[in-house]
Structure 1
């Protein structure tokens, strides 16, 4: 068993339930409406829900003759608002097994593709601030799209904060596994219900079903 100095976690799908696709879709449509686009093509809606690249964003803005910064700012504001509303309404919650990792001896951190401000909200709302030693989400900027996982940028920043000699990254997507390996970390893929059937092309160091299994893996 490898002894880890630090444990890093993704947030959505690992610590808290992922946002509902329908909620994200409505947030994107609200962003389009704000800029006068009342009936965008569904493909252009889906692109902004997740995984959009800078080039694809530029193409969309050219199609509707709107400024990139204006559309992205609106997209991020409405998406953030919708997430806060879901948490406050109780329609999105923390996973019950988070308590299995909040007493680990190792330093712990969060690295997410979600907004940095949303991670701050999650830590505050679920009273997780005392547990976390460092955390990174992305700023709500176009430039941040290039720094999302599988880019290991924010994982490497978290590792530098923790001065970790060895660390494990716990995620729920292939991009999490790839980012971990690019950063020189072991990875644990959590097969929650939303990713139970996902076929990975990259092999994680561990596959688990719960965070209790993660706690057992890293126990001194």
Structure 2
């Protein structure tokens, strides 16, 4: 379930956008918002701080909260049910990371290629020791994004980090239970090989295959000892 602060922040955002409030419009007082949403003033302050950090609200000391001139921020709402939300993030990653891998194949410097290799080696060590490897998985994908030669790929991946943790964590948990982590490792190896070979189409396909396989693992019932 989304946290109370998240729900109030979303409700406030919906009110601002749905009511067509223009930049400079003043929002109700904290006491009024607290009564409207049935929450404590502390929760309202936290929700306003969230919207302020996203550029949607401006808080003026001693005056109140106002709508800023920023565009509506992008947010991925947390949802109950788990798998459906994780699969949506994986679908979003398909477009982002497949193209990042293709660009990395043509643009990666020697140093960036070494970072990808180092991340793969660290991932390999954890898998062969049958240990959790989520951090190493994230490191590998981050290294690929950084090698794309466009900082926006890495910046958007930073935004997605909390959701990547969820999607990778669920996928790893089920893969370890079913003995599939070596398949995940092999998929990373094919991505690395294509990037190292400067094969853009191969890298794009390898990354896409890897993420689609991750989605398939989420949909597939877990059977202990199955490949």
| TM-score w.r.t. length of structure 1 | 0.24
| TM-score w.r.t. length of structure 2 | 0.23
- Structure (1 or 2) with the greater helix fraction: 2
- Structure 1 or 2, whichever has the larger Rg, is 2
- Structure (1 or 2) with the greater strand fraction: 1
